[in-house]
Each structure stands twice: as structure tokens, then as C-alpha cells.
Structure 1
Amino acid sequence: MCGGCCRRQRGPDGAPVGGGGRRGCCGTVLAVVALAAAAAVAFLESTAGGVSYAGEGWMHECAKWDAEGGRFLASTFFGAGVAEVRTGGEEAAEERVVLADPDAAGRVALGFAVDAPRRRLLLVYSDRMPRYGYAALGAYELGSWRRLFLTRLDVPGESTFPDDVAADEDGNAYVTDAMRNKIWKVSPDGTLLGIIKNATFTQRQGMVHNFVGLNGIMYHPNGYLLVVHTSGGDLFKVDPKTETVHVVKVQGSLKRGDGLELLSTTRLVVAGTPSRLVESSDDWETATVTGQYVGPIHRIGSSATVKDGDVYINHIFGFGLGKKKTHVLAKAVFSPLAAAR
């Protein structure tokens, strides 16, 4: 395109005209593209709202509201730990690292759950890509950050990618494996109790439908787990006692769904691109996608949390050229979907 434009800008003697020939034309095109890209990013950034904060590292996988501590907590990819973010006052928010387990150094901290009844945090660790051999679950006291246990989940020689965790009313933890479509079950004291495997977790064959498998997980107070399959877009209802798996019949798409958060027993937030609001009136036998929130899609929504009734979507990628990057916890306002009305 640019070569043709430049050729048209030559005079009768073949000399370039119009201020610089090929170099000038290319520079103009690149400048226009750069301005358009900057404008697009600026627009997307303006859709965030919520909480922006400065922190080290490009990537934060998960963030949750810690009501008792009055703070957001966020997991850090390359620090393999957890940072707190306190909001309020006139100063800009900035993260403060509160947990960095030396025995997990060199790993990646991914999904976590605030287990409020037991005043502890459950944190998933994985290998840094492209390695996929390490999987562990750590448990830490909220406040003192004393480690309660660090349990290895992986089997030597087997590739795996642990992603998210949820805890039931007895304190058992459930960790999803996004590579092998299984769920590890860990006791309150850190003992690996077993693995939930079921062919139902793979609804469609092929890499395109299974590039990222079981991901976000949430324990429902009625005694079962809700789990989303990212690439397939399926939502599963899992009985942790009998290990039976039921496919929730969802009206609407949940593809690219990531972290989960319950707004109530009948309403579920599925973070992702876009993030969606899902509702069920029959104890999650069936469900309907009733709303969606797009927000700053260039940052990629990855987890959801609820603070004072408002939904906040954590985004994986931070932005900025300095040591400190700007991270976003966007306050989600879900637009009703026409099909759900």
C-alpha cells in the first residue's frame, strides 16, 4: 500500500514530491496507525472504572476482596506471592507484597481463595510456562501469613497446569487442572485426598476445544462445585462426595470463561473476555447468561470478586513503561442481553 502511494508522489522527472517520498509516506501511515492504536487503548482504559493501583510485574492472575482485612488481595505471576491493595484517601493505591513463600520461589502464583471461616488463604502454584510439571497448593494464615501447609499435587513425569481453587464448608480444597481436566481434593490439613476425574469434563475433542480446560471453580452452599471449562465454554455441577458430574445446560456462551464468583445462590459471575452474569432458577441444572461486561478487553479479565455488593473484575495484564505497572480492578456493570429478556 505504501509503495503504491509513494510511486504516485513522483514528478515528471521521476523525483519524489510531496515532502520526502517513500520515507515520508511510510512515516505518515505509521503515525496515523500509532495514533489510532493509542486512541483505542485510551478508550478501553476509560471503560475500567473501579480501582487502579501500581504494582511490580506485568501479570496478576487473581484478585479477591478480603472483607475482614478491608483490602483487595492479588496474586503475582513472577513474584510467586500475594500483594495487598488498600484503597481510600487521597493517595493513589499501590500494592504491598504480604506473602512470598521461599519454597515456591521461581514458580507462578495463580488462583486463590479467601477461606474466611478458617481465616486463611489458599493459593495455587504452577510452573512458569513453558514448563508444566509443578503443581502445589499452599495455605496461609490471614494476617500473620504463617504457612499452614504447602502440598505438592503433581506426579513425576506428568504435565499439568493447576489454575484455581475453592473451599467447601468443611475446609476441603478443590484445585482445577486446566491441562488434564481434573480436580484435586485436599483436606483441611493439606493431605491430598484424591482426584476427581470424569469423561464428562471433555465435551468436545480437539485442541481448539481443550487448549485451556477446567479453570474457574466455586463451592456452592448447597453442597456442590461449579466449574467452568474455558475453551469449551461448558459449566459443570460436581458433587464432591459422589464425584458425579452434571453438565449445566446454559443458554448463552461461556467460552473464554475464567474465574468464578457467586453473587448469590442463583447468580454467578464468570470473568473473562467478556465477563458474564449467569442466573439459574433450578439449583444449577440449567442457567441463562443474562448480562455481560466488556471493560478493558486488552488487559484480559481473569477473576471476579464482590465488595459491598459490587462486582470487580481483575485483569491479567498491567501497563506502563517504568518498574511499576498500573493494574486494574474494574467495577463491572453488566448490560442485559436481549436473549435473556
Structure 2
Amino acid sequence: MIVSLILISAVPLSILTSLELSITRNPGIIQYRSHGWLRECAKWDSIHQRFLVSTMFDAGIAAIDIGKVQMEEKVMLRETDMAGNASLGITIDEDRRQIIVVFADVVGHKHSAVAAYDLDTWERNYITHLRGVEEGKEEEGVTMADDVAIDSNGNAYVTDTISNEIWKLDSKGNLLTKIRNQAFKQTNGLFSNLIGLNGIVYHPDGYLLVIHTIGGDLFKVDVTTEDVKVVEIIDGSSLKMGDGLVLLSPNQLVVVAATSVKLLESLDGWKTSKVTKIHRSGPMHRVATSGTVRDGKVYISYIVGGGFPRTHVITEAVF
């Protein structure tokens, strides 16, 4: 995230102006006014027909109601117990009518947590401190929880992009295990684990698909045996800088990166895969970070806002 913001600051104003003007010509754009400059993740809440967005440094969630002439985010949650942390990855658990939210200390890397909230009342169902200071005891090691997926039983799986492990919690928020594997730790350079395990999705056949951002590896992780395999990309395409993941169908996976959105297909249960389509259009300077599915279409959210007043965009990825 920090690297992306530095790069943006170096882009000439004239280019940024041109890119901003191009946004309004995108027929699949959703543009909304915001209370902050950074918005990490957006997911479609089909129950209430709205987008829910993690608002980052105020540790909150906002709603974007579709259909209004002037769309503006409405703050639904500010988690006071997570003051000093950012709200990052989110996922919608429709079966239990709740949203799962990841919190992390993105500056000091000293704390990570995950919480669940009722989608109707916004009452907190649970909050679990994954690593950090709790009850006067400080755990050693840096941490930054990033994204979350949920299986059919309500178990949550949270990636840690620094320690390169996956926490597994039950439907009540009780920590069950940490999935660790040497394959998660890249060895191809000093900064190869600067941004590690990131986007994660649960496949209905009982495994996870997880992306390593710097290394570009896509992992298949069995949630029962904790066996880890690297998915072979048979067409030679690179998935480096992959961030958010979206499971479009059992055989189709969308990988969101800052400069492009790739559609992968697999015909052998994700032993191998290949990139079949690439979506390159969109406001590149806003930095794509996550995706979601709305009415069978893929929508991409961006971390950086712009303009006065501050605006954010969600765009349709047309493959």
C-alpha cells in the first residue's frame, strides 16, 4: 500500500487529470462521495442490495446504496475497541447474515484481529485478537492480518501478509489452528516476503485459494489436512502483485492487481490453471485492491480517493 502511494505522488498532475476525466466515461462506474482518502475493500451485500466498504484508519465499515443520483457512503460501524488499527479485508457471510472484518496495525505491525457483525443490527457477534497485546501480555513477532474467507460451516480463514500464515477460526470466533507451510515463505530475494499471503477465497470443494503478492504464487490449501500445493500457471502468465481474489465460479478465479485484473480458469480442480482474459481498463492511479461479484458481474474497488470533495470509485471489470 505504502509503495503504491509513493508511486502515485510521482505522477504528473496533467496525467492524473486525464485519468480522472477518463473515469466518467466508464459506463460501469459507481462513484461515491467519501469521508476519507483510503478505502481498502468493497463487497456486495446481496441481502440489502448495497456495497459495504472497509474505511481503513477509522476501523469502520461504510455502506454505498445503489440507485441514488448522488451516492455517498454511510458509516455503519466504527469499532472503538480497534482504535489505532485499520479495517482491511471483509467478506459477507450470507448464511448467517453477518460481515467478517479484518483489523490490523498497518503502521507498527503489532496487532491483528478479526470480528463478525450482524448485517441487520450491526451488533458484534465476536471479536478475536489474533496476535498482539491482550490482557497485559504482548506476543512477539510482527503481524498484519489482511484478508478473510469463510466456508460453508462458518469457519473463517484470515491471511497474515507478514508472518505468512493463515488463522482458522470457528463460527463463534474461537481460534482453531494456524496453517503454516514453508512454501508460503518466498526465498527469491531480500524483499520477497515484504507483502506475502494476501487475497484468499474458499472453494466449495473444501480448499482455499491464496495469493502471495510479491512472489506471485497461487496456493491451494486443503482445510482438513492443511496440505499446501502451488497451482501451476500453465500459460506462463505472472500473478506477481496479485492482491484480492474473487471466485467467479468453481472453475474461474479473478485475481485483482494494481495494473490489471486477470481471469484464471482451471479444469482439474486447481492443480493447474491459465489466464484466459485480462481487464486493463480503469483508473490505474487509484490502485485496484479487491473485487466482488454483483449479479454475476465482477466489480473492482480501489484504495485511493480523489477530488474535492473526496470521491471513490468501484468499476465493472469487463473481460
TM normalised by structure 1 equals: 0.84
Q: From 141, 144, 149, give the equivalent of 1:166.
A: 149
Given residue 220 of structure 2, which amino acid in structure 1 is its aligned partner?
K
User: Are 1:48 and 1:296, in contact at CA under 8 Å, matched by a contact in 2?
Assistant: no
Match of 2:4 in 1: none
State the distance in 1 between where 2:175 and 2:72 align. 36
Query: How far off is 1:122 after superposition?
Result: 0.6
State the distance in 2 between where 1:179 and 1:265 align. 29
Given residue 159 of structure 2, which amino acid in structure 1 is its aligned partner?
T
Query: How far off is 1:275 after superposition?
Result: 1.3
Say which SS state the counterpart of residue 207 (structure 1) adopts.
coil
2:101 matched to 1:118? no
2:277 matched to 1:291? yes
Query: How far off is 1:46 after superposition?
Result: 4.0
- Change over 3 Å in CA distance of 1:110–1:35 after alignment to 2: closer
Query: How far off is 1:44 after superposition?
Result: 5.8
Say which SS state the counterpart of residue 34 (structure 2) adopts.
strand
State the distance in 2 between where 1:101 and 1:302 align. 22
Match of 1:72 in 2: 51
State the distance in 2 between where 1:46 and 1:309 align. 22
- Change over 3 Å in CA distance of 1:147–1:288 after alignment to 2: same
CA deviations on 1:8-48 (whole Å, 9 max, x unpaired) are: xxxxxxxxxxxxxxxxxxxxxxxxx6445523443366458
Match of 1:326 in 2: 311
Given residue 228 of structure 2, which amino acid in structure 1 is its aligned partner?
V
Match of 1:146 in 2: 123
- Change over 3 Å in CA distance of 1:34–1:160 after alignment to 2: closer
2:33 matched to 1:54? yes
State the distance in 1 between where 2:110 and 2:27 align. 35
User: Are 1:225 and 1:237, in contact at CA under 8 Å, matched by a contact in 2?
Assistant: yes
Query: How far off is 1:291 after superposition?
Result: 1.3
User: Are 1:123 and 1:137, in contact at CA under 8 Å, matched by a contact in 2?
Assistant: yes
State the distance in 2 between where 1:206 and 1:44 align. 37
Match of 2:7 in 1: none
- Change over 3 Å in CA distance of 1:37–1:316 after alignment to 2: closer
Match of 2:211 in 1: 228
Aligned-pair Cα RMSD in Å:
1.5
State the distance in 2 between where 1:199 and 1:178 align. 14
- Change over 3 Å in CA distance of 1:37–1:171 after alignment to 2: closer
User: Are 2:19 and 2:283, in contact at CA under 8 Å, matched by a contact in 1?
Assistant: no
Q: From 243, 268, 272, give the equivalent of 1:282.
A: 268
Structure with the bigger percentage of helix: 1
**Largest Rg, 1 or 2:** 1
Given residue 198 of structure 2, which amino acid in structure 1 is its aligned partner?
N
Gaps spanning 5+ residues in structure 1: where? 1-32, 335-341
User: Are 1:237 and 1:284, in contact at CA under 8 Å, matched by a contact in 2?
Assistant: yes
Match of 2:289 in 1: 302
CA deviations on 1:229-269 (whole Å, 9 max, x unpaired) are: 01111100000111110000013111111111111000011
Given residue 192 of structure 1, which amino acid in structure 2 is its aligned partner?
L
- Change over 3 Å in CA distance of 1:163–1:45 after alignment to 2: farther
Given residue 46 of structure 2, which amino acid in structure 1 is its aligned partner?
A
State the distance in 2 between where 1:191 and 1:84 align. 28
Structure 1 segment 1-341 matched on structure 2, within 5 A: 34-43=13-22, 46-47=25-26, 49-89=28-68, 91-129=69-107, 131-155=108-132, 156-250=139-233, 251=235, 252-273=237-258, 274-294=260-280, 295-322=282-309, 325-334=310-319
- Change over 3 Å in CA distance of 1:196–1:34 after alignment to 2: closer
Matched residue pairs, number?
298
State the distance in 2 between where 1:143 and 1:241 align. 32
Say which SS state the counterpart of residue 208 (structure 1) adopts.
coil
State the distance in 1 between where 2:291 and 2:252 align. 13
State the distance in 1 between where 2:318 and 2:199 align. 21
Gaps spanning 5+ residues in structure 2: where? 1-11, 133-138
CA deviations on 1:96-130 (whole Å, 9 max, x unpaired) are: 0111121112210000110111111110000141x
Query: How far off is 1:272 after superposition?
Result: 1.3
Deviates more, 1:290-299 or 1:33-42: 33-42
